[in-house]
A and B are shown apart, each in its own frame.
Chain A
Amino acid sequence: MSINFKSLIDHEKGIVDRRIFWDKEIYQQELKQIFARCWHFVAHESQVKTFGDFITTYIGEDAVIVARAKDGSINVMLNSCPHRGNKVCFAGEGKIRSFVCNYHGWAFGLDGKLNGMPNNELYDDTEGFKKEDWGLHKARVESYKGLVFATFDPEAPSLGDYLGDFRWYLDAILDIDEQGTEFLPGTTRSVMQCNWKFPADNFVGDIYHALWTHLGGGEATLKEYGGIVVSNENSYQASVNGHGWEFSLGNNFGNAATMGDKDIVKYLRSREEEISKRLGSIRAKMWGSVASGAIFPNFAFLPGYFTFRTFLPKGPMETELHSWTLVPKEASDEIKDKWRLGTMRTFSPSGILEMDDGENWEHATAANAGYVTRHQKLCYSMNPTKGQTVPLDMPGETVVGQLNDSNQRLFFKRYAEFMDAASWADIPLAPITK
């Protein structure tokens, strides 16, 4: 198939062809062009703290194991035995010494090496057979301040170059102090019948929907504060290499307040001065304000709530959502527990805000079953602050006003770049300035 994705996506006007949310061939191309190429979040270091700790997850539709080996390294490898292909680990998390395939008993170390198999003398006279040739296929692994990423593409740039100046923004959550962050125990897994790009483009830059979608949920916790308040006064969008963050610098801790727990807001306020000294006042405000962000292609987060989530593709019409709650390590157990409850009551399958999102994305996807519907375009053109200059020193492509489709246009621009590229050599990287 040779589709020119630039013809499907006009990122300057903000016109997106609906077929990218439906077409099976396009989806198969995405698995190759995007998921087999990008750096993907796979775990927080706190999930695999010591030797033997592992979790299982997916990169695209490829099942992977993330495991801490004896030498302290974190290994990411295909969860598929190279002998006949069965999964070698069916647990979601745990502690283990080796992964043994249920089929013939081939056993692999935490570094993915083939350690042995039953009746291994059967291979003694097998010409050319070497155990070192048949380990679990491994990905490249790099971490950024607690977040572990992996890629299966040997040509991919370093994680640092992939994230680029977006690291400056990520530090507003990941680098607020020396102690760093951790995930609370528990991975929430749920399934939505939607294309993975709808949740991804929502988190990368769509606060607009909150003003309508979340009116009912917002009423439950924000009524006493005057409901959901979002404006383009003192708010911005920033985009780097397709990653994006839309945020207010005006209303302090607006996201956190939606969880309805005053103690969390107090905690955030108590740390603002110290974080401001460390990172400057812009990022101290970004810590808990009305905002959302995403790392290309499918890893998203919400400041304040500190829910982190991946939108794992399961075909063009299905997405598996894995989500976690991140907390500052230094916070008291009592505050951490309030975050556990706060994110659950807002952004989880039972959350009063997330519940509404899934409905929207499912029906936005399903509508494309209609041939005529599918051949219509979607409007990503909102640009209310055109010509205004961002008055602050912030890296990346920035615009005034968080109510804006700018980040989403740049997300789809990036999407088209990946889909049209023959290799990483064709994929531009923004210069690093910070």
Chain B
Amino acid sequence: MTKEQLLALECKGEHVDLQTYFNVQRFVNREANWLNHELLNEWSESLEDDLVYWIPLRENRLRRDKTPELSPSYVSMFDEDKGSIMMRLKRNDSGMCWTEDPPTRQVMSVSNLEVFHTDKADEFEVHTVFTLYRSRFERDDSTIMGRRKDIWRKVGTEYRLAGRLVLLQQSTLLTKNLNVFM
């Protein structure tokens, strides 16, 4: 999987049938449920080995400016493969991550699901939007909304995440960090 492939996902394929849509939805919801319950080992094990997980920065550019807003070579918020995601999880697992204790409470609400065929029989283009609400300690809170463009791959009876482009809507992240996955 590459970032270029994710940038090219523009809902141009054929819609999947009802059964496939239902199956994909089950796995998309399962993933959100894992993230909401901080079941990050289950989540990371479900990721494909060639995963690309990309959250680029957003920029304010004038409409007439032809410079692409998103580019694989720009600095990003997340630009991960499976190995680097596993590295990040070690921080949480170290038992010495003081600022995650007490833990963050989060809700990922995922909707607007659209599923398209791609030119590969076992890969599906999946579009969703999400609201991520986080609450921490007594009163810390933040809400982030975004759009996701994914590739999910059918492996046996499962659908597994192979690529994700998250488009946040804030050009200035109005919160101190992104300490969770989305």
By the criterion CB–CB under 8 Å, are B91 and A344 in contact?
no
Contacting residues, chain A, for B88 (C-beta < 8 A):
220, 345, 352
> Smallest Cβ distance from A53 to chain B, in angstroms?
11
Q: Which of B62, B80, B87 contacts A94 (CB 8 A)?
A: B62
By the criterion CB–CB under 8 Å, are A350 and B176 in contact?
no
By the criterion CB–CB under 8 Å, are B62 and A220 in contact?
no
Q: Which residue of A lies closest to B57 (CB)?
A: A186
A337 at the B interface (CB under 8 A):
yes
By the criterion CB–CB under 8 Å, are B87 and A260 in contact?
yes
Contacting residues, chain B, for A94 (C-beta < 8 A):
61-62, 65, 67
The B interface is mostly helix, strand or loop, or mixed, namely: loop
Q: Which of B67, B76, B80, B99 contacts A359 (CB 8 A)?
A: B99
Pairs across A and B, CB under 8 Å, 5 listed: A93-B59, A344-B79, A345-B87, A345-B88, A349-B77
CB neighbors of B among A59-117 (8 A):
90-96
Given A190-B175, A219-B91, A355-B179, A344-B76 contact (CB < 8 Å): yes
Given A220-B90, A350-B77, A355-B177 contact (CB < 8 Å): yes
Q: Which residue of A lies closest to B142 (CB)?
A: A191
B73 at the A interface (CB under 8 A):
yes
State in angstroms the CA–CA spacing of A325 and B73 once bound together.
12
Q: Which 10 A-B pairs have the closest CB atoms?
A: A186-B75, A216-B97, A358-B176, A219-B94, A220-B90, A215-B96, A189-B172, A359-B99, A190-B173, A186-B74
Q: Which residue of A lies closest to B78 (CB)?
A: A350
By the criterion CB–CB under 8 Å, are B61 and A341 in contact?
no
State in angstroms the CA–CA spacing of A191 and B88 once bound together.
22
A177 at the B interface (CB under 8 A):
no
Category for how many chain B residues contact A: 35 or more
CB neighbors of B among A337-380 (8 A):
337, 340-341, 343-345, 348-350, 352, 354-356, 358-360, 362
Q: Which residue of B lies closest to A186 (CB)?
A: B75
A10 at the B interface (CB under 8 A):
no
> Smallest Cβ distance from A338 to chain B, in angstroms?
11
Contacting residues, chain A, for B175 (C-beta < 8 A):
190-191, 349
Q: Which residue of A lies closest to B137 (CB)?
A: A363
CB neighbors of A among B43-77 (8 A):
55, 57, 59-62, 65, 67, 71, 73-77
By the criterion CB–CB under 8 Å, are B75 and A344 in contact?
yes
Q: Which residue of B lies closest to A96 (CB)?
A: B62
